Amino acid sequence: MVKKLKALVEGKTDSEMAALIKNSATQIWLAGLGAFAKAQEEGVKAFDALVKQGETVQERARKVADEKIADVKAQASGQWDKLEQVFEERVARALHSLSVPTKKDVEALSRRVTELTAEVKKLSGGAVAPKAPTRGAKVAKGAK
């Protein structure tokens, strides 16, 4: 580039050099304006393309995040289920060691009482003694 400038300047008068510099500056200015116009024109297209790419990337990221969240929820749910089961087993063992009947024991006892009640009714000819009030039931005044 320097050799080219020296070749242009050699043998030129001051006014010719000034005209060359003015012409060169004008061309640089016009090239800059052209680049600016091109950038404005292409900038809108590039901006729109970037927005579209951004939307695509955002959607992919959202899908990946949703999948990860679903995986974590599934793992957490499984852990809660295991924790609940362990807790229930420990409570059942503690109650058993205290000789507290289980739900199964109470249900079996209830079935057996129903069977025995039916058997007593059958053997007594249909007349069964009146039921005793259940726990928590109100007792009529005067009756104890």
Report pLDDT digits (tens) over 15-34: 887 888 888 889 998 898 88
Instruction: Report helix, strand or coil for 138.
Output: coil
In sequence order, which residues have a C-beta less than 8 Å from that of residue 95 and are 6 or more positions away? 102
Contact yes or no for 123/129 (Cβ under 8 A): no
Which residue, among 113, 109, 111, has the nearest Cα to 101 in the 3D structure?
Answer: 109
pTM strictly above 0.75: no
DSSP assignment, residue 140?
Answer: P
Distance between CA 51 and CA 59 in Å, rounded? 12
Distance between CA 106 and CA 112 in Å, rounded? 10
How many CA atoms are closer than 13 Å to the CA of 122, on its beta-carbon side?
6
Q: Quick one: tokens of 52?
A: 């579209």
Give the model's pLDDT for residue 18: 82
Give the model's pLDDT for residue 131: 62
The ranges of the chain with pLDDT < 70 are 1-2, 5, 8-9, 126-144
Over the stretch 38-48, which tens digit does the pLDDT of each residue have? Answer: 888 887 888 88
Give the model's pLDDT for residue 75: 82
DSSP assignment, residue 131?
Answer: P
Distance between CA 119 and CA 111 in Å, rounded? 12
Q: Where are the alpha helices (DSSP H) in 10-102?
A: 14-97
Give the model's pLDDT for residue 134: 61
